Structure 1
């Protein structure tokens, strides 16, 4: 059974507080006709601090889409490798044990994907499969887990590495003065995350069932307008109501698995804003304490897009986890409107897993085994 191991997280050094954000809003938009509303909305996010890849003075400048994208590439190459190394260590595997890399990001663009650079730079095997996901936004964290789960179901001996890299501050557009855009300026933060899904063994969340749900006719509620100046984030005022439509999908997936979503032991969900968490408490009939890790991520780091579910999950690990075999849900929400959901049980130690036999004792994928034999014959690895 595939197991999602402990994630690794990194955030940039530059910090902006809510007080800083409110001050900047008052200074830069003093004449905005809805400034009072914007200030209230930002205050209600509960985001106390966010991390940015540049000092705020540089973040507020717009040197052009090309310069920003070059900054995205440079900072991704700086921050991603140490996070990958930590995630591999958490999972007890090495670079040559990875069969698939899923890379998710919606805040910069590279082709070839950063996956190619990761494979070359960090010593992953040339046979490592690549799956870049660029257009699922905040839901991509859940989608990455689900695609890694699917891969390990197809290839039970395989391991998948997930990497999420989000520099939301690079999407700041000084000319976008709509209430939704100004709200996003006080909500989103930057971060990088990585996690391994092991086909056999490992500790963490043993994945059992995953699913997706698209709310019909909501594709323009969260979107990008791609213009000469880059990605312009567009947020419909109806977005805060989406949990009324997505909560039934979470409940339905649990019922398919013969679980009651209201009685799970842990839930890690995307924290796009406090309204999402408050509404889930109501619609899923759970105590607010259930979402304490997602809320902590929102409070301390803001909405870090696809990284949120990994940051919240890492907080669960850091808090000592939950009892062995505890049942839980992980879910990401994003453009579409889309939910990516997975159910699983907590595995407290490798010995507790029925698939705990060491990977080395099991046959590898045919193409992987052939590659390893060729390396051994050549005296490599």
Structure 2
């Protein structure tokens, strides 16, 4: 049975507060006829702080898709190694022990995937399977867990590394005055996260099962409008209402293993926004405080897309409230509208020190993942 080890998470060093965001919106869009609505929506997100890979003045400029892609690649290569190294250490493995890499990101496009660079530069074997996922948005965090689970189930004794690299600030569109886009300017943040899923381990979250659910006829409710200037985020106001349809999907996945989704020990839920959490709490029949770690991620990091579920899990593990045998659910939501759901049992963390990261990290603090000796045939 696959076991998810403690994730490692890093957020960039440049911070933006809620107050900064509101003042910026008033300064840049003072004559927008729907500015009061946008300010209200941003205020209601509850996002106290977000983190950016570039200083604000650079973030606000749009140098073109080509330059933004170069920034994405440069910053990813500077920040991924440290987070990967922490994740490997948490799992007690080296790069040579990894059989597949699932890399998820929806904030830039590269070909080949950054998995190729990771294999070439960070000591992974040349026969490591590459599984990049680019179009599931925020749901990709849950999808990464499920695809890693599938890989371990079909490849006995294997280990899978999950990496989430989300630089949402590179999707800022200064000339896009759509209210949904203005809301996104006050909601999303940047982060890199990683975790290892092992086929066998005495420590971590044992993944018991998983499932997917698509809400019919909602594919344009969360989407990118792809234009000459890049990705323009679109968010329909009906999105939070989909929790009424997705709550039964969570119940079904849990029930397939004889579990009651309303009476679990922990919940790792994608924090797309406070309304998502409020509605899911109501339709799932659980107290709002059961989603406290999801709310903490939203408050301190904003919506960090596919990295959310890994950060929520990191916070949960760091809290020290988990006990061996505790059962819980992990759920990511994103474009489609898609839900990716996992259930698992906490096995404990033993006496090992787990480095989940979470502190802001500048580029000069990055250290490479542990290199390995490669044979001529590896």
TM-score using structure 2 length: 0.92
Distance 1:73 1:249, change over 3 A: same
Matches within 5 A, 1:141-180: 141-180=141-180
The two structures, once aligned, show a CA RMSD in angstroms of 1.6
CA distance in 1, matches of 2:210, 2:135: 20
Distance 1:308 1:302, change over 3 A: same
1:358 match: none
Instruction: Give the 3-state SS of the residue equivalent to 1:102 in structure 2.
Output: strand
Matching of residue 15 in structure 1 with residue 21 in structure 2: no
CA distance in 2, matches of 1:77, 1:170: 15
Shift of 1:37: 0.8
Matches within 5 A, 1:1-381: 1-349=1-349, 375=375
User: Which segments of 5 or more consecutive residues in structure 1 lack a partner in the other structure?
Assistant: 352-371
Shift of 1:271: 0.3
User: Which segments of 5 or more consecutive residues in structure 2 lack a partner in the other structure?
Assistant: 352-371
Is 1:222–1:334's contact at 8 Å kept on the other side of the alignment? Answer: yes
Shift of 1:156: 2.6
Shift of 1:175: 1.3
Instruction: Give the 3-state SS of the residue equivalent to 1:148 in structure 2.
Output: helix
1:356 match: none
Distance 1:97 1:350, change over 3 A: farther
CA distance in 2, matches of 1:21, 1:203: 41
Instruction: Give the 3-state SS of the residue equivalent to 1:258 in structure 2.
Output: coil
Shift of 1:33: 0.6
Is 1:201–1:350's contact at 8 Å kept on the other side of the alignment? Answer: no
TM-score using structure 1 length: 0.92
Farther off after superposition, 51-60 or 158-167: 51-60
CA distance in 2, matches of 1:176, 1:239: 20
Q: Report 1 or 2 for greater relative contact order, CA contacts < 8 Å, sequence distance ≥ 6.
A: 2
Query: Which is higher, the Rg of structure 1 or of structure 2?
Result: 1
CA distance in 1, matches of 2:243, 2:169: 26
CA distance in 1, matches of 2:321, 2:7: 13
CA distance in 1, matches of 2:23, 2:334: 29
Shift of 1:349: 4.3
Farther off after superposition, 253-262 or 128-137: 253-262
CA distance in 2, matches of 1:46, 1:350: 35
CA distance in 2, matches of 1:310, 1:89: 16
CA distance in 1, matches of 2:321, 2:309: 15
Is 1:211–1:253's contact at 8 Å kept on the other side of the alignment? Answer: yes
CA distance in 2, matches of 1:322, 1:312: 13
CA distance in 2, matches of 1:49, 1:24: 14
CA distance in 2, matches of 1:350, 1:219: 43
Tell me the number of residue pairs that the alignment of Structure 1 and Structure 2 aligns.
Answer: 358
Would you tell me which structure has more helix in proportion to its own residues?
1
